[in-house]
Amino acid sequence: MKRSFRCLFNFTRGNANLTFVPHHEAVIESQLEKLQMLIDNSTNLLILTGAGISTESGIPDYRSESVGLYARSNHRPIQHQDFMKFKHFRQRYWARNFIGWPTFSNVQPNVSHQILADWERHGKISSVVTQNVDRLHQKAESKAVVELHGCAYEVKCMKCNYEISRHDFQNLLIELNPSLSVQNIEMRPDADVELSQELINTFRVPHCQQCCDEVEGFFKPNIVFFGDNVPKSRVEFVFSQLQSCDCLLVLGSSLHVYSGYRFIVRASELGIPSAIINIGPTRGDKFASVKLSAKCSDVLKKICM
């Protein structure tokens, strides 16, 4: 009990923003006890996190009932092929991302990120595989993080592979668009915001200065956009991590997309127990030994290590 009290005392001061957290019920104690037993019997947890772990930091997700992007608008995220093929799609993406970036990049980890970092420091988990591109796990000082869908903090030339940090890229965008400033804009997932077509049409995007050929390279964030595939080597690495773990814990993911769903399927095939903490049903519920339909932090704060 002493250990549990220490965790509660330290972590209740974590940053919390419930604007984008959907309605949820209190934690059911009988389910919590099952989860505690599963974690007690594990010495090598593999964690898989989705957007639901970051909503408490103020980053909206796509699919949550009432508060997710799909529930609040007809907007859909950019598709990989559109970004790669069409200059005007890239111009629109970077104009909107330029406005949203200062808010997105200043978001801080919440209590759930902090607890996972603490579990890692105490040798409870082997790694955190995240579907998020927000780098909040690293901000919370988790070290063994696999960014399944890449990271918004890195930008890459699609021709010569030259890489630049997103912060440095923001400075380039500021130089080219010094007068563009929009206030009180609601941020969507991945730093997207709504802008008028007039502002988008005047937005200037830099070409890659490292490309010396006649065809200039263009920049793309190091993110697996919708319609693209997670690199095979990354998937195989996670499968190898899964092979050596003794429990899979899914946090804040509906497992709707195959990129995350495949891992709970593989865990089931390997006979590895899994648990899910997510508000509402998930695609992987049938594979889970324990499922808690609750806010991630409400559960994690009650787990005793």
List, for residues 71-97, the tens digit of each pLDDT value. Answer: 454 566 889 999 999 999 999 999 999
CA distances from residue 245 to 41, 46, 103, 166 in whole angstroms, order as listed: 12, 6, 36, 34
Radius of gyration of the chain (CA): 20
DSSP, collapsed to helix, strand or coil, labels residue 176 as: helix
Q: The whole model's pTM is what?
A: 0.89
DSSP, collapsed to helix, strand or coil, labels residue 270 as: helix
Tokens of 24: 């949820």
pLDDT class of 3 with cuts at 50, 70, 90? very low
Strand partners, 285: none
pLDDT class of 182 with cuts at 50, 70, 90? confident
Mean pLDDT of the residues in the chain: 87
Name residues whose C-beta falls within 8 Å of residue 68's C-beta, 6 or more positions apart in sequence: 20, 22, 60, 61, 62
Q: Tell me how far apart the alpha carbons of residues 172 and 201 are, in angstroms, rounded to a whole number.
A: 18
Residue-level pLDDT at 214: 59
Element at 154 (helix H, strand E) = strand 150-157
Q: Give the pLDDT confidence of 123-161 residue by residue, as tens digits.
A: 999 999 999 999 999 999 999 999 999 999 999 999 999
State yes or no: pLDDT of 65 exceeds 50: no
- Mean pLDDT across 110-116: 97
Residue-level pLDDT at 8: 39
Active site annotation includes 149: yes
pLDDT class of 179 with cuts at 50, 70, 90? confident
The domain segmentation of the chain, as residue ranges, is: 2-59+109-149+229-300, 74-106+152-223
Nearest to 279 by CA among 289, 261, 294: 294
Tokens of 2: 């002493």
Residue-level pLDDT at 71: 40
Point out the catalytic residue in the list 80, 149, 167, 256.
149
Q: Which residues are annotated as a binding site?
A: 50-70, 131-134, 157, 160, 208, 211-212, 252-254, 278-280, 296
Q: Poorest-confidence range of 15-19, 243-247, 267-271? A: 15-19
Residue-level pLDDT at 67: 44
Upper half-sphere CA count for residue 81 (Cβ side, 13 Å): 1
Q: Which residues are annotated as a binding site for Zn(2+)?
A: 157, 160, 208, 211-212
Nearest to 65 by CA among 52, 78, 75: 52
Residue-level pLDDT at 26: 78
How far does the chain reach from its first CA to its final CA, in angstroms? 9
State yes or no: pLDDT of 99 exceeds 70: yes
* Torsions phi, psi for 44 (to 5 deg): -150, 75
CA distances from residue 217 to 82, 169, 213 in whole angstroms, order as listed: 16, 14, 9
Confirm or reject CATH 3.40.50.1220 for domain 2-59+109-149+229-300, answering yes or no: yes
Pairwise pLDDT comparison (47 vs 2), residue with the higher score: 47
- Mean pLDDT across 25-35: 90
Nearest to 254 by CA among 114, 29, 64: 64
State yes or no: pLDDT of 116 exceeds 60: yes
